[in-house]
């Protein structure tokens, strides 16, 4: 079992700043995120967007802000676990908690701070695919050579759908792209490449059903402007409809959930012992969902957690400008 003082769930801006702050308070941190990278939705959704409301930064690109936050967080020397989802939480007799991840890793910690933002990303649902229980559904695409001889149906109209169709069109027996709209949201050059390739493109059409056992044999496609249903031979279906955020397993942690948010007190405590939250995921009267507010909440949460774990310490940590750790970090940079 991995052991730490504080488990931080979510490596977006609030989680990264909380990591730094926990380091400043001398806490050992494990930082977990379900995405494969640090920076949360800023890195995933708008790395190139300019942000104007970070204190002291008149204008900063999403990716530059994240890179600064990551550098700051590294000073806490956290153990970082990416691509892992925190699934369950269990109270221990000594007051600590054990959190188990989706891959079965157990993390024993003094406290948990949830900085999960809008939740974790999962593939967007597609009823026909979700209803099919056989083999041959590839949510993660393998190297192209593994599709030699296969009849592949890719579903979607964004960059990943078009890129995967382009990638597989030379090695697979056939590639069919089914998109429910007339227009693609993928890059124009990729769509042009696809149109001149051997890929069959069916637009304005939805997948009604996938059949075959034990693995995919046929996909039934219904075009919006036609009455009939077309049967497309298929051995592999690749759903590429992008991702959607939801709170996922956190819903079962016994927290007070309101809409997409966790209710917290002024000390960022959730009401469940040793579990705190900060950033966009929190809610309380007067909450404003901005990164700067999340940074403040992260500091509030970590300081309150520090006192719970070490009752002899003060809630107020002292000023960072007076801490030797800070001076050491500055001299290294």
Partner 1 sequence: MTYVIGEACIDEMDGSCVDVCPVDCIYEGEEKRYIQPVECIDCGACLTACPVSAITSPNDGHDRVWAVDNSDFFELALPGRGEPIGSPGGASSLGKIGVDTPLVTQRGGES
Return residues touching partner 1 (CB under 8 A): 41, 45-46, 49, 118, 121, 124-125, 156-158, 181-183, 185, 241-246, 259-260, 280, 289
CB burial readout 12-37, b (16+ within 10 A) else e: bbbbbbbbbbbbbbebbbbbbbbbee
Taking the CB of residue 276, how many other CB atoms lie within 10 A of it?
Answer: 29
Identify the CA nearest to 44 among candidates 69, 21, 11, 16. 11
Q: Determine phi and psi for 309, rounding to 5 degrees.
A: -75, -30
Decide whether 41 or 235 has the Cβ nearer to partner 1.
Answer: 41
Minimum CB–partner distance for residue 304 and partner 1 (Å):
26
Decide whether 41 or 176 has the Cβ nearer to partner 1.
Answer: 41
Decide whether 242 or 317 has the Cβ nearer to partner 1.
Answer: 242
Dig out the tokens for 253 from the structure: 């942690």
8 A C-beta contact, residue 12 and residue 279: yes
Minimum CB–partner distance for residue 289 and partner 1 (Å):
8
Sign of CA dihedral 55, 59, 62, 68: negative
CB neighbour class for 325 (10 Å; exposed up to 12, middle 13-18, buried from 19) = middle
Minimum CB–partner distance for residue 283 and partner 1 (Å):
11
Q: How far is CA 109 from the centre of its chain?
A: 22
Decide whether 102 or 203 has the Cβ nearer to partner 1.
Answer: 203
Cα three-residue angle 291-293-296, rounded to 5 degrees: 115
Minimum CB–partner distance for residue 280 and partner 1 (Å):
7
Minimum CB–partner distance for residue 229 and partner 1 (Å):
20
Element (H, E) at 60: strand 60-61
- DSSP letters, 134-186, are SB-B-SSPPPGGGGBT-EEEEE-SSHHHHHHHHHHTTTBSEEEEE-SSSS--S
Decide whether 51 or 305 has the Cβ nearer to partner 1.
Answer: 51
Minimum CB–partner distance for residue 141 and partner 1 (Å):
19
Decide whether 7 or 240 has the Cβ nearer to partner 1.
Answer: 240
Decide whether 144 or 257 has the Cβ nearer to partner 1.
Answer: 257
Minimum CB–partner distance for residue 226 and partner 1 (Å):
17
């Amino acid at each position: 079992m991995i052991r730490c003082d504080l488990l931080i769930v979510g490596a977006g801006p609030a989680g990264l700043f909380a990591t730094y702050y926990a380091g400043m308070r001398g806490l050992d941190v494990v930082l977990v995120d379900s995405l494969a990278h640090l920076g949360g939705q800023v890195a995933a959704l708008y790395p190139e967007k300019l942000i104007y409301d970070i204190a002291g930064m008149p204008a900063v690109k999403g990716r530059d802000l994240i890179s600064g936050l990551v550098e700051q967080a590294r000073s806490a020397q956290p153990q970082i676990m990416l691509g892992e989802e925190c699934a369950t939480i269990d109270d221990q007799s000594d007051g600590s908690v054990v959190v188990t991840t989706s891959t079965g890793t157990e993390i024993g910690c003094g406290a948990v701070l949830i900085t999960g933002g809008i939740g974790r990303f999962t593939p967007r649902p597609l009823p026909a695919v979700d209803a099919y229980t056989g083999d041959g559904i590839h949510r993660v695409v393998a190297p192209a050579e593994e599709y030699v001889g296969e009849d592949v149906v890719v579903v979607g109209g964004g960059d990943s759908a078009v890129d995967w169709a382009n990638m597989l069109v030379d090695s697979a027996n056939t590639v069919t792209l089914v998109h429910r709209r007339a227009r693609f949201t993928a890059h124009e050059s990729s769509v042009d490449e696809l149109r001149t390739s051997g890929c069959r493109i069916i637009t304005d059409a939805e997948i009604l059903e996938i059949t075959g056992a034990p693995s995919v044999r046929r996909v039934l496609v219904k075009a919006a402007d036609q009455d009939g249903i077309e049967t497309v031979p298929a051995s592999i279906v690749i759903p590429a409809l992008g991702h959607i955020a939801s709170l996922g397993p956190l819903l079962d942690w016994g927290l007070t959930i309101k809409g997409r948010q966790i209710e917290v007190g002024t000390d960022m405590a959730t009401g469940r012992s040793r579990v705190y939250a900060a950033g966009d995921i929190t809610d309380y009267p007067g909450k404003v969902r901005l990164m700067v507010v999340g940074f403040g909440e992260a500091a509030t949460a970590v300081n309150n957690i520090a006192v719970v774990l070490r009752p002899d310490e003060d809630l107020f940590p002292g000023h960072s400008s007076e801490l030797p750790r800070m001076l050491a970090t500055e001299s290294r940079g």
